[in-house]
Structure 1
Amino acid sequence: MSKRLPLEPIVKKVGNFYETVHVAAKRARHLYTVDPYTFGKDSEGREHKKTVIALLEILEGKVCPKREG
């Protein structure tokens, strides 16, 4: 059902580990508020937990941290 993701490429994409956790948690909470009773589906149609979906979205570039500047 759920798979383990290597965090190194995700952390490199975001910048640091703390911000990666923050962005993934915020996105996973949003996914749970939209539909708390089902698993999420990745781009290939496989079901995963919402936290894994959030990490996959960061890795694919669909979700990114808000940059101030």
Structure 2
Amino acid sequence: MSKRIPLEKVVEKVGNYYETVHVAAKRARFLYEQDSYTFGVDIKGEKHKKTVIALLEIAEGKICPKEE
């Protein structure tokens, strides 16, 4: 079901570990608000936890931190 995401790739997109955790947690919370079911489906149709989906979206460049 769930797979491991290499965090180095995700951290490169965001900048640092703290911001990565912040962005991923915010996105995962949003996904849980939309659908409280524990698992979600990614583009390929595979089931993953919402936190994994959030990390995948960051790694693919779909989600990025807000520039201030």
TM-score grouping bracket, smaller chain normalisation: over 0.9
Match of residue 15 from structure 1: 15
Tell me the equivalent position of 1:29. Answer: 29
Q: What TM-score do you get using the length of structure 1 for normalisation?
A: 0.94
- Structure 2: gaps (5+ residues): none
Provide the C-alpha distance between the structure 2 equivalents of 1:25 and 1:38, rounded to a whole number of angstroms.
14
How far apart are 1:43 and its partner, in Å?
1.6
Q: Which runs of 5+ in 1 are unaligned?
A: none
Give the % identical residues.
75
Q: What stretches of structure 1 move > 4 A for 4+ residues in a row?
A: none
CA distance in 1, matches of 2:8, 2:38: 28
User: How many pairs were matched up?
Assistant: 68
CA distance in 2 between partners of 1:38 and 1:45 (Å): 15
> Separation in 1 of the partners of 2:38 and 2:9?
27
Trace 1:1-69 onto structure 2 (pairs within 5 A).
1-68=1-68
